[in-house]
A and B are shown apart, each in its own frame.
Chain A
Amino acid sequence: MRSFRDRPIKQKLVITTMLTVTVALVVSGLSVVLLDSILFRGYLQRDLSATAKIIADNSTAALAFNDPNSAGETLNALRARAHVVGACIYRMNGTLLARYSRQGAFECPPPAAPESARFAGNDLTLSQPILLDGRQVGTLTLLYDLSEIGERTKLYSATVLVVLLASSLLALLLSNKLRSVIATPISRLVNATTSVSETGDYGVRAEKLTGDELGVLVDRFNAMLAGIQNRDNDLKQALADREAALGEVEKERERFAFMAESMPQKIFTAGPAGESVYLNKLWMDFTGLSFEQIRDWGWTQFIHPDDLEEGLRIWRHCVATGEPLQMTARFRRADGVYRWHLNRARPMRDADGEIRLWIGSSTEIHEQKETEEELRRANDDLQQFAYSASHDLQEPIRNVAVYSEIISKRYHSVLDPEGQQFLGFLKEGGRRLATLVSDLLAYTRAGMDDVTAVPVNSEAVLKNSLASLAEAIRESGAQVTYQALPEVHVGESHLQQVFQNLIGNALKYRNEAPPEIRVSAVPRGAFWCFSVQDNGIGIDSKYKEKIFGVFKRLHHDQKFSGTGIGLAICQRVVARYGGRIWVESEPGKGATFFFTLPQYAQRVRPAAVESSAG
Chain B
Amino acid sequence: MNLLLAEDNLPDALLVREAIRMEDLPLDVFVAADGEKAIEFIARAERDPDAPAPHLLLLDINLPKLDGFEVLKRLRASGKYEGIPVLVISSSDSPSDRSQAAELGARYFRKPPSYDEFLKLGGVLKQMLKDAGAL
Contacts and interface: CB of A to CB of B under 8 A. Distances in A.
Interface of A: 391, 394-395, 397-399, 401-403, 405-406, 409, 430-431, 434-435, 438, 441-442, 445, 452, 464, 468, 492-493, 496-497
B133 interface: no
B62 A395 contact: yes
A405 B92 contact: no
B79 interface: no
Given A391-B92, A493-B96, A497-B95, A430 B11 contact: no
8 contacts: A395-B9, A398-B113, A399-B12, A409-B115, A431-B113, A442-B93, A468-B93, A492-B99
A402 B91 contact: no
A399 B93 contact: no
A493 B97 CA distance: 10
Interface string B9-29: 101100100000000000000
Contact of A438 (B11, B12, B93, B115): B93
A394 B91 contact: yes
Interface centre among B112, B113, B115, by most chain A C-beta atoms within 10 angstroms, is B113
Interface of B: 9, 11-12, 15, 62, 91-96, 99, 111-116, 118
Contacts of B115: 402, 405-406, 409
B113 A430 contact: yes
A434 B91 CA distance: 10
Contact of A395 (B91, B95, B112, B114): B91
Contact of B94 (A395, A401, A403, A493): A493
Interface centre among B9, B62, B96, B116, by most chain A C-beta atoms within 10 angstroms, is B96
Given A395-B9, A395-B62, A401 B114 contact: yes
Contacts of A405: 114-116
Q: Which 7 pairs of residues, A with B, have the shortest CB-CB distance?
A: A434-B113, A394-B91, A493-B95, A405-B115, A401-B113, A398-B113, A399-B11
Nearest to A409: B115
B95 A402 contact: no
Given A395-B91, A402-B15, A402-B114, 4 more contacts: A395-B9, A401-B113, A401-B114, A492-B99
A493 B96 CA distance: 7
Nearest to A500: B95
Contacts of A391: 91-92
Contacts of A402: 11, 15, 113-115, 118
A445 to B, nearest CB: 7
Contacts of A401: 113-114
Contacts of A438: 93, 113
A379 B23 CA distance: 47
